[in-house]
Structure 1
């Protein structure tokens, strides 16, 4: 059994409105760090935005989810072509840890731990209090991390929006249980 067989791909939601989701990714750790911090690489799986990697530095994330895969799939009703969010670096410890504010309502931490030739990436998103936000953010991180894992492995991803829509149903069932 490989390390990947022991990682649950679905995020968990703790009582304090904290989502934790993990992925085992092909290393080395510096490669993964680049996909987290370099705007050109990050826009291939999440969002663009230049970062000055020092505490308290502001940056802007720009999501263009319909450009992540070809075809993009069917966006949910009300989805816009672009989403922009102002963030701020909270903590940076290259290449192991990066924490940034999330639109002033919480924060996100990426932590990496080597596991043989692979890297365990743990994403922790704190203070997602509203149920509607939980049901957007949970499947969002899941779909984006699946896309990252696929990109790192050279795999063709499924259409982003179709993946997100499928996962939204899964998360609605999991988070209501």
Structure 2
């Protein structure tokens, strides 16, 4: 598989912003639970409590080895036992909108989840903004895309795809896509 064979959904919408849209099996309340509830979020992203109000604390505890059966590549192993990463809720309008300072970079960037019902499906619009450079945008887009692929698998009742192999292909595809910036 080449990087041209990898489907990428992310687009650069501003010099410091990446947006990814995915159509997911609904209803919207179900997707909201997978974003806000620790036990459901740990199945595709990271566990951790979330205080669901503006100013509330967001905790992410990443354990990528739980996402699929693939071993973690050496260059990412330090994340396997990382301490909880903390952020703060900046916008909250359930079950339509959740935004928070991203725990992975001490709140320097912000993630926004927006949910839109489309019949039996839900359009998830994920925006990650205040990213410092193209290299970070590639990393963020490929990471989110790999995590969202696991979410799609979980929501569809399928065995989760290989997180790290998906991530590697996406990283190459996004590096090519964003190189023209």
Question: TM-score of the superposition, structure 2-length normalised?
Answer: 0.88
* Partners of 1:9 and 1:22 within 8 A in 2: no
Map 1:1-177 to 2 at 5 A.
Answer: 9-69=8-68, 71-75=69-73, 77-80=75-78, 81-83=80-82, 84-102=84-102, 103-177=106-180
**In structure 2, C-alpha distance between the alignment counterparts of 1:174 and 1:31, rounded to whole Å:** 32
Q: What CA distance in whole angstroms lies between the structure 2 residues aligned with 1:97 and 1:170?
A: 29
**CA separation in 2, counterparts of 1:32 and 1:126?**
21
Report deviation, 1:16: 2.3
Check whether the contact 1:76–1:161 (CA below 8 A) recurs between aligned residues: no
Counterpart of 1:56 in 2: which secondary structure? coil
Deviation at 1:126, TM superposition (A): 0.4
**In the alignment, which residue of structure 1 is the partner of 2:4?**
none
Q: Which runs of 5+ in 1 are unaligned?
A: 1-7
The verdict on how the C-alpha distance between 1:86 and 1:74 changes in structure 2, with shifts beyond 3 A counting, is closer
Aligned length in residues: 169
Return the alpha-carbon distance in structure 2 between the equivalents of residues 124 and 175 of structure 1. 16
The answer to whether the 8 A contact 1:65-1:82 is kept is no
Aligned counterparts of 1:165 and 1:61: Cα–Cα separation in 2: 22
Measured in 1, the distance between the counterparts of 2:125 and 2:14 equals 18
Partner-residue secondary structure (3-state), 1:63: coil
Cα separation, partners in 2 of 1:73 and 1:170, compared to 1, 3 Å? farther
